[in-house]
A and B are shown apart, each in its own frame.
Chain A
Amino acid sequence: MEHFEIQNLTFSYPTAKGKPSLQNINLTIGQGEYVVLCGKSGSGKTTLLRHLKPVLTPHGKRSGEIRFLGTPIEAVNQRDQAAKIGFVMQNPDDQIVTDKVWHELAFGLESLGCDQKTMRARVAEMACYFGIQDWFHREVAELSGGQKQLLNLASIMAMRPEVLILDEPTSQLDPIAASDFLNTVRKINAELGTTVVITEHRLEDIFPYADHAVVMDGGRVIADDMPHKIGKLLHEQRNDMFAAMPTPVRVFYEAGGEGKCPLTVRDGRNWLNSIFPEAPRVSALPAQLPDEEVKDPALSLKELWFRYEKDSPDILRGVSAQIPRGSLYAVVGGNGAGKSTVLKNICGICRPYRGKIKVFGKPIEKYKSAELFRNCLAMLPQDPKSLFVKKTVREELEEMSRDTGKIQETAELCQITPLLDSHPYDLSGGEQQRAALAKVLLTEPKLLLLDEPTKGIDSFFKETFAAILSQLKNRGVTIVMVSHDVEFCARYADLVSMFFDGQILTTDTPRRFFSANSFYTTAANRMSRCVFQNAVTAEDVVGLCRQNMEG
Chain B
Amino acid sequence: MSAALPGNAMGSDAFSGCHPAVNFVFFLGAIGFGVVILHPAYLLAGAVGAAAYYLLLHGKKGWKMIFGLFPLFLVLTAINPLLNTQGQTIFFRVFGRPYTAEALLYGAMIAGIFVVTLLWFGCYHAVMTSDKFTSLFGNWALSLMLVMVLRLIPNLLRKARQIAGARRSVGRGAGEQNGNREKLTEGMTVLSVLISWALEGGVGTADSMRSRGYGVAKRTSFQIYRMTPLDRGLLAVILFLAAAVLATAITGGASAVFIPAFSIAPISGLHALGFAAYCCYLLIPTVLHIKEAIQWSISRSRI
A binding-site residues for B, Cβ under 8 Å: 53, 55-56, 78-79, 82-83, 85-87, 89, 91, 93-100, 102-103, 106-116, 119-120, 123, 137, 140-141, 152, 155-156, 159, 344, 347-349, 368-370, 372-374, 378-379, 381, 383, 385-389, 399-400, 425, 439-440, 443, 449
Contact = CB atoms under 8 A, between A and B. Distances in A.
Contacts of A102: 222, 224
A378 B130 contact: no
Nearest to B224: A102
A98 B215 CA distance: 16
B197 interface: yes
Contact of A93 (B155, B167, B210): B155
Interface stretch (B27-35, B157-165, B230-238, B251-259): B157-165
8 cross-chain pairs, A with B, having the tightest CB-CB distances, nearest first: A373-B171, A94-B204, A82-B213, A106-B222, A113-B217, A379-B169, A108-B212, A386-B166
A381 B217 contact: no
Contacts of B193: 388-389
A98 B148 CA distance: 6
B222 A109 contact: yes
Contacts of A100: 131
B300 interface: no
A53 B159 CA distance: 31
Contacts of A112: 213, 216-217
Nearest to B176: A369
Given A99-B151, A159-B212, A440-B170, A425 B222 contact: no
B172 interface: yes
Contact of A110 (B130, B165, B210, B220): B220
Contacts of B147: 97-99, 103
Contacts of A141: 151, 154-155, 158
Interface in B196-227: 196-197, 200-201, 203-205, 207-224
Contact of A79 (B4, B169, B189, B213): B213
Chain A binding surface, main DSSP class: helix
A95 B204 contact: yes
Interface of B: 4, 6, 130-131, 144, 147-148, 150-151, 154-155, 158-159, 162-163, 165-172, 175-177, 189-190, 192-193, 196-197, 200-201, 203-205, 207-224
A159 B209 CA distance: 13
Given A103-B147, A140-B151, A385-B197, 7 more contacts: A53-B211, A79-B216, A96-B208, A97-B147, A99-B131, A99-B147, A106-B222
A78 B192 CA distance: 36
Nearest to A77: B216
Contacts of A388: 193
Contacts of B177: 368-370
Contacts of A110: 219-222
Contact of B166 (A106, A109, A368, A381): A381
Nearest to B160: A386
Contact of B169 (A349, A400, A425): A349
A388 B197 CA distance: 10
A155 B212 contact: yes
Contact of B165 (A56, A79, A344, A369): A344
Given A99-B147, A383-B162, A440-B170, A116 B211 contact: no
A103 B217 contact: no
Given A55-B210, A111-B217, A97 B205 contact: yes
Given A91-B204, A381-B162, A388-B193, A107 B171 contact: no
A378 B170 contact: yes
